[in-house]
Structures are given as C-alpha cells and as structure tokens.
Structure 1
Amino acid sequence: MISAGDFKNGVTIEVDGNLCQIIEFQHVKPGKGAAFVRCKVRNVKTGGVIERTFRPSEKVPRAHIDRKDMQYLYQDGELCHFMDNETYEQIAVNTKDAEGSLKFVKENEMVKVLSHEGKVFGIEPPINVDLEITETEPGIKGDTAQGATKPAIVETGARVMVPLFIEQGEKIRIDTRTGEYMGRA
C-alpha cells in the first residue's frame, strides 16, 4: 500500500480495480478545508486518462509490474513475437497491447515487456534508437529559416520531422517517448 502523500510520477497503483500509472500529481492545500492530492492517472490497459483526488492519508494498493528484457523478433498479423534471451522462451503479444510502442523498434532489438500478474499489457522500447532515413525530400538550398523541418520516413515505417539538412540514407537518433529527432547517429 502507498499513501497519497507519497505519490510520484510513474508510480503504478490500482484504482477501482484498474491498473493505473500516475502521470502528474499536485498537493493542494486550500485556504478552507482539508488538504488533498489531485492526480492525473492513465489506465495502463485502455490508455484513458482520468483525474482523481485523494486525501493525503488515504492508502491505495501499489501495483507490482514485472519488466522483463526481451528481444523483439517479428510481427505476424495480429501478433508480435518476443524471445527471452536467457531461457530462449518465446511469447506472442497481441499488437493492440504493443500499440504505438514498436513504431521505432527494429527486429532483433531489445525491449522491456511489461506484465501484471502474468498478463502482458505493454511494451517499453529503448529511450533512444538510431534509425536510417529511407524516404525524405531533398533540402532546398536557401530555404534555411530557423528551426525549419521536413517529414521523413525511417526504416521502421514511422514518420518523423527532421531538419532540412538531413538527407535520405543518413542515420538519425530518435527519442521514442516523444518521437522527436535528437541528432545524427
């Protein structure tokens, strides 16, 4: 159990029987009345965000999440296949559970598979990945307004906004949390 006064961003709790992750929280002490903690929590399974308030002394169950390093093998229709590199055991995860998490992950890369009570509910890709640009328009000389960007397609098929000087065939570093260009690899 964790008390609402000890909440931190990223902590996973159980709210109304649902597995939720705290996105942001704020301790509020109004001029009149008792203090409370206002939180935005994201339902881990559905992705929905709700706002809840708790008394600081209120206790909620802390959800234990298992994070296991596994190798992403391939996608086969509605299933994504992963392998544990220690036991060589393979698991298949529904693409809905990995939705959006694998758009920057190439085959044979390591990811963290998230599970709660034995049921896989999500995939955590590495924070930074290096990918090659497979398709982008050439930069036009003289078109160098500050901060100008253009769309590019990387080798996994994801679309990223990159600076005008980046050309097709170059490797770039991408932040998988935001999908933003970080620099050349």
Structure 2
Amino acid sequence: MKINGNEIRPGNVLEHNGGLWAVVKTQAVKPGKGGAFNQVEMKNLIDGTKLNERFRASETVERVRLEQKDFQFLYEEGDALVFMNTETYDQLELQKEFVGDRRAFLQDGMMVTVELYEEKPIGVTLPDQVTLAIAEADPVVKGQTATSSYKPAVLENGVRVMVPPFISSGEKIVVDTNELTYLRRAD
C-alpha cells in the first residue's frame, strides 16, 4: 500500500531501498526556505541498522503489512529453537541468534508472536512479563534498608537483574522481558 511521505508514523513498516524498515520516530520539519518534509528515523528489520531519511509530502513510499501469527515454543535443538503454529500445527525452526538475548526467557509451552513477511519470519515477540525464580541473591547489608537501593540477583535462567532488598533466593518474581527489570513479586 503506497502512502505519502507526510503520512509516515512510528510503528509503520516500510519497503525502502530494497529492505524492510520499521519507523522508530518521525518529525515534521518546515524550514524557512524550501518545502516541508518528514524526517524519519528507521531501523532495518533484518540486520538492525539504522537510517535517517527525509520524505517530502509529494513522495510515496510502500507501507508493508506484516502478518502476525501465534506460535508455541516447543524445545531447543542444537542452534535452533523450534516453535509450533497453534492453528496449523506446522513447526518453525529459528536460529538462536534470531531471538537474541531474550531467548533466555523462553519457557516450554510459552506463546510468542512471530511476525512474517511473505511467509518469511522477520521478528519474534515474547510476552512482556514472565515469572521466574531467584536462583541466588546477595544478603541484605544491615542499614541498607533505609535507602531504596537495589541488589543484584541471578534468575533461574542465568540472567542478572536488580531486585529490592527484601527479595531472597527461591522467591518467584515477575520480570519485564523488554527492559530486563524486576516488576513485582509473583502471586
């Protein structure tokens, strides 16, 4: 679907210079001389490179719609992660690097959203929050409870996060998978 340069918004996915680009932010600029334009910061969906581009209102660009499908994480096999489409039961193998650092948060049976472009996987979205147990946490130093200082802790998946002083080993906490931060104690 073609859109004009002034209609580009953050979150759009564009086909530009032979690649797929996610729009990170836009700014409408009206200089004293010349015509107005839209300054667009984009991130390549394949290799993660960034690009700043100017689009005039008269220019058109191809806006791409990504297909989003729900998949269930099944297991890890060598360098691959195996997911299953919950509607068709088709299996999809993705390389560990494709998921990146967030793969440590994958749990058996976890539902994820896979973004597809022309049936080719482009990205994987994990749930925003997961519940994990604390494997080890430093003990509280006396007198430290008066300030709102956080202490380091290691989760059961090996990821290090900062937690409040009252959290101890063995407790379950809810973690933000995007920011890798402690949110609250699990119920």
The answer to whether the superposition gives a TM-score over 0.5 is: yes
- Residue in 1 aligned with 2:42? 41
- Residue in 1 aligned with 2:15? 14
Q: How far does the alpha carbon of each residue in 1:133-169 deviate from its partner, in whole angstroms, 9 at most, with x for none?
A: 1222122231136342222222222222222222111
- Distance (Å, rounded) in 1 between the aligned partners of 2:124 and 2:153: 24
| Offset of residue 54 of structure 1 | 1.0
Matches within 5 A, 1:97-108: 97-108=98-109
* Alpha-carbon contact 2:4-2:57 (below 8 Å) kept: yes
| Offset of residue 109 of structure 1 | 0.5
- Distance (Å, rounded) in 1 between the aligned partners of 2:176 and 2:146: 24
Matches within 5 A, 1:3-152: 3-144=4-145, 146-152=147-153
- Distance (Å, rounded) in 2 between the aligned partners of 1:116 and 1:156: 31
State the superposition RMSD in angstroms. Answer: 1.6
The normalised TM-score by structure 2 is 0.90
| Offset of residue 174 of structure 1 | 1.7
- Distance (Å, rounded) in 2 between the aligned partners of 1:23 and 1:134: 36
1:174 correspondence with 2:155: no
* Alpha-carbon contact 2:28-2:38 (below 8 Å) kept: yes
Number of aligned residue pairs: 185
* Alpha-carbon contact 2:96-2:103 (below 8 Å) kept: no
- Distance (Å, rounded) in 1 between the aligned partners of 2:164 and 2:50: 33
- Distance (Å, rounded) in 2 between the aligned partners of 1:145 and 1:7: 49
| Offset of residue 10 of structure 1 | 1.3
Q: How far does the alpha carbon of each residue in 1:27-60 deviate from its partner, in whole angstroms, 9 at most, with x for none?
A: 1112222111111111011011121111123211
| Offset of residue 182 of structure 1 | 1.4
* Alpha-carbon contact 1:101-1:123 (below 8 Å) kept: no
- Distance (Å, rounded) in 1 between the aligned partners of 2:19 and 2:136: 41
- Distance (Å, rounded) in 2 between the aligned partners of 1:4 and 1:162: 45
- Distance (Å, rounded) in 2 between the aligned partners of 1:78 and 1:16: 31
The normalised TM-score by structure 1 is 0.91
1:163 correspondence with 2:164: yes
After superposing on structure 2, the runs of 4+ consecutive aligned residues of structure 1 that deviate more than 6 Å are none
Q: How far does the alpha carbon of each residue in 1:58-86 deviate from its partner, in whole angstroms, 9 at most, with x for none?
A: 21111221111111112222100001222
SS at match of 2:168: coil
* Alpha-carbon contact 1:106-1:156 (below 8 Å) kept: no
| Matching residue's letter, 1:85 | T
* Alpha-carbon contact 1:134-1:168 (below 8 Å) kept: yes
Determine what percentage of the aligned residue pairs are the same residue: 39
